Structure 1
Amino acid sequence: MTATRVSGAGMTRFEAASDRSLLELATAAADDALADAGYATTDVTSIHVGNALAEALGTQTGIANAVTASLGAEGVRADRIENTSASGASAVHRGVEAVASGGSSVALVVGVEKMSVAETADVTESMSRLVHDREYVQGLTLPSFAGLAASAYLDRYGVPREALAAVAVKNHANAVHNPVAQFRKRISVADALESPLVADPLRLYDCCPMTDGAAALVLSRERGVRVASTASATGTHAVADRADPLAIESVRIAGERLFDGTNLSPRDVDVACVHDAFTVLELLELEELGFYDRGAAWEATLEGETRLDGELPVNPGGGLKARGHPLGATGVSQLVELTWQLRGDLPDERQVPGAETGFAINVAGFGNNSVCTLLQA
C-alpha cells in the first residue's frame, strides 16, 4: 500500500486571545496548508476537524460542516473528532486512515480551539469534566493530578525541583525563535521556581496556558513527509484506580503499538514533540515511551540532552508550555512542527540539523487516551 504523506502544513499564530473567530482560525490554517501543498479546495475529498470545547464554550456546533462551507468544499466527506486534549492527533489519525484505506485521496485535517471566549473559571470547569465522575465530584482537576504526580516523581527518584524548572526553561528558549508561539520570551530557573504556586510543587511556569489557535495538514499519497506509523490507546480512566501514579499506561501502550508497526525504535527518533501540558509530563512520557529509563529523564534534561542542540531535541517549537495549548489544535500543531523540521524549512536557530525521523505524542486528559505519530523525511 502506498504510504500516506503530509503534503502540506499550515498554522495560525497561537495567542491568549485572537481577534479571529473559531471558524476564521480554522479556515486560515486550512488555507495555508492547502497553499503549502499546492492543492486547491476542489482537490480535497475529506475534511477532519479536531476540536474539544466548541459546544461547551458555546461557540460553534456542527463545526466540520461550517469549516467545509467556509472553504467552499461542499460535497466532501466531513467529520468532527473530539478526544479532549488529544482531539487534534485523533483527527490526524482519522485522516491517515481515510487516505490509507482509499476512502479519501486528499484529506484536510484541521485542529482548532478558541478558549478566550469564556472566563477562565468556565474553561477550567469544562476541562474538569473530562476526569472520572468520582474524581470530579471530589474537586480534582488536571493540575491536581499533575501536582500529585510531580511530588511523587521528585520523592521517588530524589529529583531536585530545578529539574522541572529546566523543562520550562528549555521550552521557552525554543519558542523564542518560533513566530507562531504564544510565549516568545526566555525564562530562568529562578523565574520558574519563584512563579506563583498552582498545585504543589508545580508553579505557574510548570503549566501550559489557555490558547486560541488552529493548525492544519493536507494528507495524500502523492508527495511529502511520510507518515510511518500512527497508534493510540486508552488507559485507566480514574487516576485513583491506577496501580502506580507515575505509570501512564495509555502512553506506554500507544508507543509500543507505534514502534511495533515499523522497523524503528525510540533510538531512531531525531526530534520529538511530547505533550508537556505540565513539566512533569514531559519527563514521564519520555520514560514511558522508552526514550529514557524510569527516573532518568530528569538527569538527561539537566545535562542538556533534550535541548535543540542535544542528542534528542524535545519540543523544538516550544511545546504546549510555550507554543501554547489550544486543545483541539495541539496534536496537529505538533505534526506541523515536525513536518517543517523534516523538510528543513526552518532557520538555523530553529532547525534540528539532518532530522529524518520525528515523533509526536498527544495526550487526552491525564493519560486517559494517547495518540502517537511517527513521521519520516
Structure 2
Amino acid sequence: MSEALATLAGVGTSAFGKQSYDAQTLMWQAISEALIAAECAAADIDAIFVGNVFNHAGTAQRGLLAAGFAGQPVFNVENTCASGTLAVHLAVQAVHRGDYRRVLAVGYEKMTDTIRGPLPTDPRDADAAAGLILPAVYAMTARRYMSLYGVTAEQLATVSVKNHLNALQNDRAQYSGDFTVAEILDSRPIADPLTLLQCSPISDGAGAVVVTAEDVGAAGAKVLSSALASARPWPTGPDQVWNYELIERTTNESLAQASISRSDIDVIELHDAFTIGELVTLEAMGFFKPGTAGPATEAGETAVGGRLPVNVSGGLLSRGHPLGATGLAQIAEIAWQVQGQAGARQLDRADIGLIETMGGNVAGLTGNGCVVMTLAGGKQ
C-alpha cells in the first residue's frame, strides 16, 4: 500500500430527493457537517473546489458566502456526472502538491426545479440529434450485453432490488424499498429493456469534504489514490460499449497508484445511473469477467454480506443522482464505511473502499471523464 496522498478530515451531505431548500441551503447543510466532523471553521479553509453542472452562474459563490466563506480562492469545475468527484480529485492533488494545507471540496445540484425527464444535451451533438440520450444509450448497452453474454432481464432487475433494499438503511436516500424482481420489471417502461425502477431519479442534494495534509489518525480517511482519465475516441473494440475503456483505464491507474490489488477492496460505491451501468462498470474495473457480473449479482455476491458489497448507500438508483453532488455522496459513504461510522449500513469489514464516477456522453468519445479513488481508514 502506498503512502496516502491526503486525508479526508470530515465529510458531510444533505438529504437527497426533491427538496424545498434552495441550492445555497443544501450546500450549507453539507458543508456544516463536514466542517464539524473536521473540527475546523470556514476561516481555516485555504481554497475551495466546487463541482456543479446545471445551476445558475454564481450559485457556488452565493452558497459559500451563506456558509461563511469569504476571500478564499474558489475553483468551479464541471465534468457531467463526475463533477463532484473531480472537485475532490483536484482538492486532493492541490493538498498533495503543497499548494494548500486545508481545502474544501463541494458538489451540489438543484435539479427538480428545472429538469423534466432525461437530462438535456447539446442539440449539436450527433448522438443527441439522433435521439441517443442517456437512457437510450444505456438501453442499447443492455441489449448488446444481453446478446453477447446471455445476461437476463431478471439479472438487470436484481441490481435495482439490491440497491433499493440497501437504501432502506439510509435515511438520506431519495427512494428505498423491498421490491421483487417482478415489481422492478413491471414498473413503467423507459427505454427497452430498462424500466423506471432501473433508472436513477432527478434529484437535489449537496456533499462536502475537508481535505488536509495533516494526519488526523482514526478521525479521518486516507486517500490512497485518486485517478482522473478523459475520453478517447470510440469505438475502442468490437465488444466494448461506449464507457468500458475509460472506466478500465482509470481503475487500473488508481489501483497502481495505491499499490493495491482488486482483492484488497472491501466495498465499492460506483456509478449505477442505470442497472446495466453497475454490471458493465464492475466488469470494466476488473472485479468480474465480462458477462459474469449479472449472475454474480443475482447470486448475492455484491449484496451486503456478499463477497464484494456494492452501493451499500443505495447508489445513484436509490440514494439519488444530483449530478454535481453524486461523487461527494459516494466519497462520504466510503469515508464513513472505512472509519466505522456508517451506522445501520456499517459493514463488518470495510478497511479499503473504492469510488468510481463516470461522466458522459459526447458523440464519438468513450465518455467525458472518469474519476476512481481509493480510501482507507485512518488506522491503516
The bucket for the TM-score relative to the shorter chain is over 0.9
5 Å-filtered alignment, 1:1-377, equals 3-15=5-17, 17-54=18-55, 60-121=56-117, 124=118, 126=120, 128-129=121-122, 133-222=125-214, 223=216, 224-236=220-232, 243-246=238-241, 248-347=244-343, 349-366=344-361, 367-377=367-377
Matched AA of 1:4: A
More off after superposition, 67-76 vs 264-273: 67-76
Q: Secondary structure at the residue paired with 2:166? A: helix
Residues 188-242 of structure 1: per-residue CA shift (max 9 Å, x gap): 10111111111111111110000001111111122211000001112246x6686
Identity of aligned residues (%): 38
Closer/same/farther in 2, CA of residues 22 and 261 from structure 1, 3 Å limit: same
Determine if contact 1:149/1:245 at 8 Å carries over to the other structure: no
Deviation at 1:99, TM superposition (A): 0.8
CA distance in 1, matches of 2:28, 2:221: 23
Matched AA of 2:178: R
Determine if contact 2:167/2:314 at 8 Å carries over to the other structure: yes
- Runs (4+) off by over 6 Å: none
Residues 150-203 of structure 1: per-residue CA shift (max 9 Å, x gap): 011111111221100000000000000101100122211011111111111111
Deviation at 1:41, TM superposition (A): 1.0
Matched AA of 2:14: T
Determine if contact 2:236/2:245 at 8 Å carries over to the other structure: no
Deviation at 1:262, TM superposition (A): 2.1
CA distance in 2, matches of 1:64, 1:103: 22
Given the two structures, how large is their TM-score scaled by the length of structure 2?
A: 0.92
Closer/same/farther in 2, CA of residues 241 and 264 from structure 1, 3 Å limit: closer
CA distance in 2, matches of 1:344, 1:74: 34
CA distance in 2, matches of 1:254, 1:358: 16
Match of 1:57 in 2: none
Q: Secondary structure at the residue paired with 1:120? A: coil
Deviation at 1:74, TM superposition (A): 1.2
Deviation at 1:254, TM superposition (A): 0.5
RMSD over aligned Cα atoms: 1.7
Determine if contact 1:236/1:242 at 8 Å carries over to the other structure: no
Q: Secondary structure at the residue paired with 1:215? A: strand
Aligned residues: 365
Residues 101-140 of structure 1: per-residue CA shift (max 9 Å, x gap): 111111111110000111505xx352x23x9811122121
Deviation at 1:284, TM superposition (A): 0.5
CA distance in 2, matches of 1:323, 1:113: 14
Closer/same/farther in 2, CA of residues 317 and 30 from structure 1, 3 Å limit: same
CA distance in 2, matches of 1:234, 1:73: 32
CA distance in 1, matches of 2:75, 2:301: 40
Closer/same/farther in 2, CA of residues 324 and 106 from structure 1, 3 Å limit: same
In structure 2, stretches of 5+ residues that fail to align are: 362-366
Determine if contact 2:51/2:106 at 8 Å carries over to the other structure: yes
CA distance in 2, matches of 1:268, 1:259: 10
Deviation at 1:67, TM superposition (A): 3.0
In structure 1, stretches of 5+ residues that fail to align are: 55-59
Q: Secondary structure at the residue paired with 1:261? A: helix
CA distance in 1, matches of 2:85, 2:115: 26
Determine if contact 1:5/1:220 at 8 Å carries over to the other structure: yes
Determine if contact 1:68/1:78 at 8 Å carries over to the other structure: no
Residues 318-367 of structure 1: per-residue CA shift (max 9 Å, x gap): 000000000000011000000111111123x4111121100010110253
Matched AA of 1:229: S
Closer/same/farther in 2, CA of residues 137 and 241 from structure 1, 3 Å limit: farther
CA distance in 1, matches of 2:287, 2:358: 17
Given the two structures, how large is their TM-score scaled by the length of structure 1?
A: 0.93
